[in-house]
């Protein structure tokens, strides 16, 4: 792969909740245009907090960034509102899917496009694009999202984010609670987007096997700091990944 | 038992219940999108009625008075959201509740400062003559109030179903964090909601003002809305309607049929007893927060 421009860089970011509970104590991360980057780590390692920090969502959970810098597309974005970031193309699919449960699948998608203020024709085009990527959603477009299956909800959540035409799509545990076949098909769709449209992806996963199979590079978080960073295929075979993943292998790279 | 009398009491109760629903809807709008129980709704209602009365007493024509009051209410709604609630966003619910309690006194004080403390009569030009329908006497004013409430609910429903901001409102009510993550501007939606509840306060204020006279005790109708909300659920407009109807009917029927047994005066408190009983059986209310979920 050729060296490409840095789209997102996270430098020494620290964060707390309620100014008291320390959640991140030194996260470093670089995502280049066109890459798929996996963010790995055990439960509670700080993956979700890190992703929320870079999408401006920490404040909504009484969290705050206390140190470090986050740059997206060359600009410092620590103080930007989520709405501004979405318009700039930085969109997150939250952990646990978070569909609008009492809205239809199609209305979920339409809300996803609202930040962009699409015209009627553009909205049609974007919907068509999502339905082509996830044909299941076309069949279920009229169903309430809360009544669809877990996989369909994950597709709805991803489709909703795609409606804003992201440049960097951030996904938090997209495989959580889903059957392996469904996980495969979702990752296949994401990989296709990356390959065909050059969409850059940052994926946090506990399921390191799946994530490393699709990612170009990966970073590992432990206790709120980055402990390992490298090419995905190099990390794939290393046992200490497993150790970090389980949270027992201290020190090796810290 | 005299059935036509019973029907008359029941219908009268249901129609007066509509008046409670009008107040409750204002609560529901704000609670649903921001989780704030807006105690200031009663003060808003009073302010609206008082502003309208004072303007028309100073010689302004009816519709000009409505328009001006409407403008004032939307401005106040947006101002409260902007200056009080937005800075307090993500604080615990009790903090927000206390803030609205404070706001309600500020509004009442401001109303007094601006318009004085006199009691005003409010005439909407509707005669409160009994109308006989199928042998049952019904108050024309109550019918009018019910029609206005119906029109308002229809308007709100259409708004939420078919407009962009309405869709955004439903999304925020469903999942605020997800709404934030997809780039909806919560501030804008909250401003719209506070504006809408200001409009609801105007409608309710005019009808209640015409019924009771415009005076400071008018702001206490919030207390009447609480049992309605407990019965119907804090986050459902349909619940506010049904809850209001139930409370109205229960009050009147209890007063007429059970009142004589205990020497009367039931009307004032029976709704709270009903609400209390309901809390024990179904805390979410009849229509409250029924999550859409697969089982």
Query: Could you tell me the pTM of the whole model?
Result: 0.83
- Reading the block at residue B49, the tokens are 């009625």
Q: B128: burial class by Cβ within 10 Å (0-12, 13-18, 19+)?
A: exposed
Are residues B291 and A101, on separate chains, in Cβ contact within 8 Å?
A: yes
pLDDT in tens, B58-74: 999 999 999 999 999 98
Report, as an integer, the average pLDDT of B28-48.
90
pLDDT interval class at A215 (50, 70, 90):
very high
Please indicate whether, in this complex, the C-beta atoms of A100 and B90 are within 8 angstroms of each other. no
Q: Calculate the average pLDDT of chain B.
A: 88
* B167: closest chain A residue by CA: A111
Distance CA A73, CA A233 (A): 27
Q: Looking at the predicted structure, is the pLDDT value of residue A15 above 80?
A: yes
- Distance (Å, rounded) from C-alpha A94 to C-alpha B276? 39
Q: Where are the domains of chain B?
A: 3-281
CATH of A1-89+166-254, one of 3.40.50.150, 2.60.40.10, 3.30.1390.20, 3.40.50.300: 3.40.50.300
Q: How far is A150 from chain B (nearest CA, A)?
A: 10
**pLDDT category of residue B293 using cuts at 50, 70 and 90:** low
A251's CB contacts (< 8 A; 6+ apart) are none
The matching CATH number, chosen from 1.10.3470, 3.90.1200, 1.20.140, 3.90.550, for B3-281 is 1.10.3470
Helix axes A120-133, A180-197, angle to 10 degrees: 130
Which residue in the set B175, B183, B294 is minimally distant from A115, CB to CB? B183
Q: Which residues of A163-185 are buried (b: 16+ CB within 10 A; e: fewer)?
A: bbbbbbbbbbbbbeebeeebbeb
Q: In angstroms, what separates the C-alpha of A115 from chain B's closest C-alpha?
A: 5
Q: Which residues of B touch A (CB under 8 A)?
A: 90, 164, 167-168, 170-171, 174-185, 291-294
Which of A59, A61, A100 comes nearest B174 by C-beta? A100
Q: Rounded CA gap, B84 and B107, in Å? A: 13
Q: What's residue B104's pLDDT? A: 94
Rounded to whole angstroms, the Cα distance separating B18 from B244 reads 6
* In contact, A52 and A16? CB cutoff 8 Å: no
Q: Where exactly does CATH 3.40.50.300 map onto chain A?
A: 1-89+166-254
**Residue B270 pLDDT > 50:** yes
HSE-CB at A104 with a 13 A cutoff on CA atoms is 11
């Amino acid at each position: 792969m050729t060296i490409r421009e840095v789209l997102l860089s996270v430098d020494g970011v620290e964060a707390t909740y309620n100014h008291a509970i320390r959640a991140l104590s030194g996260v470093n991360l670089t995502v280049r245009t066109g890459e798929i980057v996996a963010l790995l780590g055990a439960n509670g390692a700080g993956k979700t907090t890190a992703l929320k920090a870079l999408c401006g969502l920490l404040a909504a959970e009484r969290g705050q960034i206390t140190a470090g810098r986050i740059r997206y597309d060359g600009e410092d974005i620590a103080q930007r509102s989520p709405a501004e970031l979405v318009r700039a193309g930085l969109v997150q699919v939250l952990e646990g899917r978070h569909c609008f449960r009492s809205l239809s699948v199609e209305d979920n998608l339409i809300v996803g496009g609202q930040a962009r203020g699409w015209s009627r024709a553009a909205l049609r085009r974007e919907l068509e694009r999502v339905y082509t990527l996830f044909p299941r959603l076309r069949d279920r477009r009229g169903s309430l999202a809360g009544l669809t299956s877990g996989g369909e909800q994950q597709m709805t959540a991803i489709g909703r984010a795609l409606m804003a035409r992201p440049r960097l799509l951030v996904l938090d545990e997209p495989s959580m609670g889903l059957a392996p076949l469904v996980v495969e098909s979702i990752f296949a769709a994401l990989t296709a987007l990356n390959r065909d449209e050059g969409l850059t992806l940052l994926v946090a996963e506990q399921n390191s096997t799946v994530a490393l199979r699709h990612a170009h590079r990966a970073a590992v978080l432990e206790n709120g700091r980055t402990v390992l960073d490298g090419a995905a295929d190099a990390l794939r075979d290393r046992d200490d990944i497993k150790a970090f993943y389980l949270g027992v292998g201290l020190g090796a790279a810290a | 038992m005299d059935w036509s009398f019973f029907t008359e009491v029941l219908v009268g109760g249901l129609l007066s219940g509509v008046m409670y629903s009008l107040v409750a809807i204002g609560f529901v709008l704000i609670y649903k999108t921001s989780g704030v129980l807006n105690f200031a709704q009663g003060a808003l209602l009073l302010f609206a009625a008082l502003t309208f009365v004072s303007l028309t007493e100073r010689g302004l024509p009816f519709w000009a008075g409505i328009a001006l009051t409407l403008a004032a209410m939307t401005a106040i709604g947006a101002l409260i959201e902007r200056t009080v609630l937005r800075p307090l966003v993500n604080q615990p619910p009790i903090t927000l509740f206390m803030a609205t309690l404070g706001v309600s006194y500020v509004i009442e004080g401001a109303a007094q400062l601006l318009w004085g403390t006199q009691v005003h009569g409010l005439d909407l030009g509707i005669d409160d003559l009994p109308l006989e329908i199928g042998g049952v006497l019904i108050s024309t004013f109550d019918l009018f109030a019910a029609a206005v409430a119906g029109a308002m609910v229809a308007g709100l429903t259409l708004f939420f179903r078919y407009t962009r901001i309405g869709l955004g409102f439903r999304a925020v009510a469903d999942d605020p964090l997800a709404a934030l993550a997809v780039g909806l501007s919560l501030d804008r939606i909250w401003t719209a909601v506070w504006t809408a509840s200001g409009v609801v306060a105007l409608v309710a204020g005019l009808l209640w003002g015409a019924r009771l006279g415009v005076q400071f005790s008018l702001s206490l109708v919030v207390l009447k809305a609480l049992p309605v909300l407990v019965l119907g659920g804090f986050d459902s407009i349909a619940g506010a309607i049904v809850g209001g109807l139930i409370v109205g009917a229960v009050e009147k029927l209890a007063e007429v049929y059970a009142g004589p047994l205990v020497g009367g005066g039931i009307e004032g408190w029976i709704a709270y007893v009903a609400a209390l009983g309901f809390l024990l059986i179904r805390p979410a209310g009849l229509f409250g927060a029924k999550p859409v979920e697969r089982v």
